[in-house]
């Protein structure tokens, strides 16, 4: 059986809340979820597996149609996120137009949240709920045996006009049983990142499940229990990548340092194998300490991304972050002292947040002075506590995400939390924030002094010029802006 896994074009992605500079200059990351599926299929089946990453290969729908005709797959698998649903369904239609015999299988967070709505779409044959590796293999091994499919947990499909939902499969307890992602199936030399020092880069996910309760985030398809690859597995994957010429890793765990000893063990393994690499992690300010940071630095960890989110205690509590501003300051001071670069994530426009609160957040971001900031407008995503709160309080008038899941249309736009500020004000504030942070003379000089190659210099200058030339800010929404000192 021929199985084709597709990372869809980003031609109809729902408009998000990033300024265009972030989306246009961030580079491309490998479709890791599909590569995990491919690796598991290669290890446990004899099926022929191919992966097409249309984005990094810059393949449009016409080119993709030609590839599908050439490959003649029996099954097309696509990861479905709510923001990418329009492109996902366009691929499904494309496959069905080429051959009605092709079975279209969707997985990912969207189908987990909206299984009935998604399977009711005519071009979709199967959904895989939750972690997909085992379920997907069992599906393709039995795809024409309806009674057998009914016994496989984690599936949703249609049979005789009825929706069959077999329930959720238990989460994988030992993640080390999974083979490494099949990076050899994509053009791995083409992946890059604006903030990386090397090229190519790759992403890694060394754990699944986040035990924290932030109200703006929801990953129900991965659970709340923290499960992690062992240190030997993690560093073994890094070592395999170095043999492909990949020496920089963006570790995309929700919270890398939940298990302190595992972090120390990973650092030990990297040093023991003498890997010449660079890597970064994402974590919380309340899960690190000086010894851990020292070990991370020794093991060539170059950047830490911290979820700060707000510059006031009031909004941190609203978001259920479980951290304080003092903890944030201490973490950034320790990280800089250890010689590790920092990136701070912030959001503006959260529930109850006022313009004054946002300006205080901007001021706090300047005081932290991270190497990078990433700021978004708070968007109530499906199944999050914020979205549920908005529906309960009437700030969100109807369940528009469910309506979109039932009837995906290209004119749909995600809503911001417009309790105290309008969408126009929020967009102006976020433009102002990026402009103010990245065009400061002190910041520009600091970054230029760190440049190690002409290619890196060109990439950063291009990004900086685009920030400086972004949409002008009207004074009407920034009459208190002088408090930031920018």
Number of domains within the chain = 2
Model pLDDT for residues 312-338, shown as the tens digit of each residue: 999 999 999 999 999 999 999 999 999
The answer on 422 and 294 residing in a single domain is yes
Give me the domain span that covers residue 139: 2-165
The answer on 330 and 201 residing in a single domain is yes
The answer on 6 and 89 residing in a single domain is yes
CATH number at residue 77: 3.40.50.280
The answer on 201 and 335 residing in a single domain is yes
Task: Report the pLDDT averaged over residues 69-79.
Answer: 97
The answer on 301 and 161 residing in a single domain is no
Within a domain: 170:
no
The answer on 274 and 419 residing in a single domain is yes
Sorting pLDDT into bands at 50, 70 and 90, what band is 16? low
Average predicted confidence (pLDDT) for the chain:
89
The answer on 274 and 141 residing in a single domain is no
- Write down the pTM of the prediction: 0.89
Within a domain: 314:
yes
Within a domain: 442:
yes
The answer on 198 and 156 residing in a single domain is no
3-state secondary structure the chain: CEEEEEECCCCCCCCCCCCHHHHHHCCCCCCHHHHHHHHHHHHHCCCEEEEEECCCCCCCHHHHHHHHHHHCCCEEEEECCHHHHHHHHHHHHHHHHHCCCCEEEEECHHHHHCHHHHHCCCCCCEEECCCCHHHHHHHHHCCCCHHHHCCCCCEEEEECCEEEECCCCCCCCCHHHCCCCCHHHCCHHHCCCCCCCCCCEEEECCEECCCCCCCCCCCHHHCCCCEECCHHHHHHHHHHHHHCCCCEEEECCCCCCCCHHHHHHHHHHHHHHCCCCEEEEEECHHHCCHHHHHHHHHCCEEEEEEEEECCCHHHHHHCCCCCCHHHHHHHHHHHHHCCCEEEEEEEECCCCCCHHHHHHHHHHHHHHCCCEEEEEECCCCCCCHHHHHHHHHCCCCCCHHHHHHHCCCCCCCCCCCCCCCCHHHHHHHHHHHHHHHHCCHHHHHHHHHHCCCHHHHHHHHHHHHHHHCCCCCCHHHCCCHHHHCC
CATH number at residue 411: 3.80.30.20
Give pLDDT, residue 463: 52
Within a domain: 106:
yes
pLDDT at residue 93 tops 70:
yes
Within a domain: 184:
no
Sorting pLDDT into bands at 50, 70 and 90, what band is 438? confident
Within a domain: 48:
yes
Within a domain: 175:
no
Task: Report the pLDDT averaged over residues 1-25.
Answer: 76
User: In this prediction, what percent of the chain has a pLDDT beyond 90?
Assistant: 78
The answer on 154 and 200 residing in a single domain is no
Tell which of 113, 148, 165 closes a domain.
165
The answer on 150 and 240 residing in a single domain is no
Model pLDDT for residues 246-288, shown as the tens digit of each residue: 999 999 999 999 999 999 999 999 999 999 999 999 999 999 9
Within a domain: 97:
yes
The answer on 401 and 260 residing in a single domain is yes
pLDDT at residue 472 tops 60:
no
The answer on 211 and 73 residing in a single domain is no
Model pLDDT for residues 282-304, shown as the tens digit of each residue: 999 999 999 999 999 999 999 99
Give pLDDT, residue 455: 63
């Amino acid at each position: 059986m021929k199985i084709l896994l597709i990372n869809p074009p980003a031609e109809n992605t729902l408009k998000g809340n990033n300024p265009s500079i972030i989306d246009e200059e961030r580079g491309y990351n490998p479709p890791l979820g599909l590569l995990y599926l491919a690796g598991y299929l290669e290890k446990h089946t004899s099926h022929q597996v191919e992966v097409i990453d249309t984005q990094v290969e810059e393949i449009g729908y016409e080119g993709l149609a030609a590839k599908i005709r050439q490959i003649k797959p029996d099954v097309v698998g696509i990861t479905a996120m709510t923001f990418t649903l329009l492109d996902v369904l366009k691929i499904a239609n494309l496959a069905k137009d080429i051959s009605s015999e092709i079975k279209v299988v969707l997985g990912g967070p969207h189908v987990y949240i909206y299984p009935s709505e998604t399977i009711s779409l005519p071009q979709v044959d199967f959904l895989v709920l939750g972690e997909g590796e085992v379920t997907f293999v069992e599906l393709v091994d039995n795809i024409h045996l309806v009674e057998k499919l009914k016994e496989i947990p984690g599936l949703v499909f249609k049979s005789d006009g009825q929706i069959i939902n077999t329930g959720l499969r238990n989460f994988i307890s030992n993640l080390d049983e999974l083979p490494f992602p099949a990076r050899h199936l994509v053009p791995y030399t083409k992946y890059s990142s604006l903030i990386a020092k090397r090229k190519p880069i790759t992403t890694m996910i060394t754990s699944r499940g986040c035990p924290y309760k932030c109200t703006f985030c929801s990953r129900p398809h991965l659970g709340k229990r923290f499960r992690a690859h062992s240190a030997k597995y993690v560093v073994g994957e890094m070592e395999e990548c170095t043999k492909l010429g990949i020496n920089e890793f963006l570790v995309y765990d929700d919270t890398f340092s939940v298990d302190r000893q595992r972090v120390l063990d990973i650092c030990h393994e990297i040093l023991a194998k003498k890997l010449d690499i660079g890597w970064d992690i994402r974590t919380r300010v309340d899960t690190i300490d000086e010894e851990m940071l020292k070990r991370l630095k020794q093991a060539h960890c170059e950047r830490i991304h911290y979820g700060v989110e707000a510059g006031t205690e009031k909004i941190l509590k609203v978001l259920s972050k479980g951290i304080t501003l003092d903890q944030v300051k201490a973490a950034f001071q320790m990280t800089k002292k250890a010689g590790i670069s920092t990136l701070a994530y912030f959001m503006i426009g959260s529930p109850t947040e006022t313009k004054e609160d946002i300006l205080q957040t901007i001021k706090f971001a300047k005081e932290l002075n991270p190497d990078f900031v990433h700021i978004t407008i708070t968007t109530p995503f499906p199944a999050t506590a914020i979205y549920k709160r908005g529906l309960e309080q009437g700030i969100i008038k109807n369940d528009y995400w469910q309506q979109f899941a039932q009837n995906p249309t290209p004119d749909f736009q995600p809503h911001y939390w417009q309790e105290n500020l309008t969408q126009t004000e929020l967009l102006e504030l976020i433009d102002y924030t990026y402009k103010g942070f990245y065009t400061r003379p002190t910041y520009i000089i600091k970054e230029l002094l760190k440049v190690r190659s002409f290619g890196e210099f060109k990439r950063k200058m291009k990004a900086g010029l685009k920030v400086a030339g972004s949409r002008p800010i009207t004074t009407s929404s920034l009459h208190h802006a002088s408090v930031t000192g920018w």
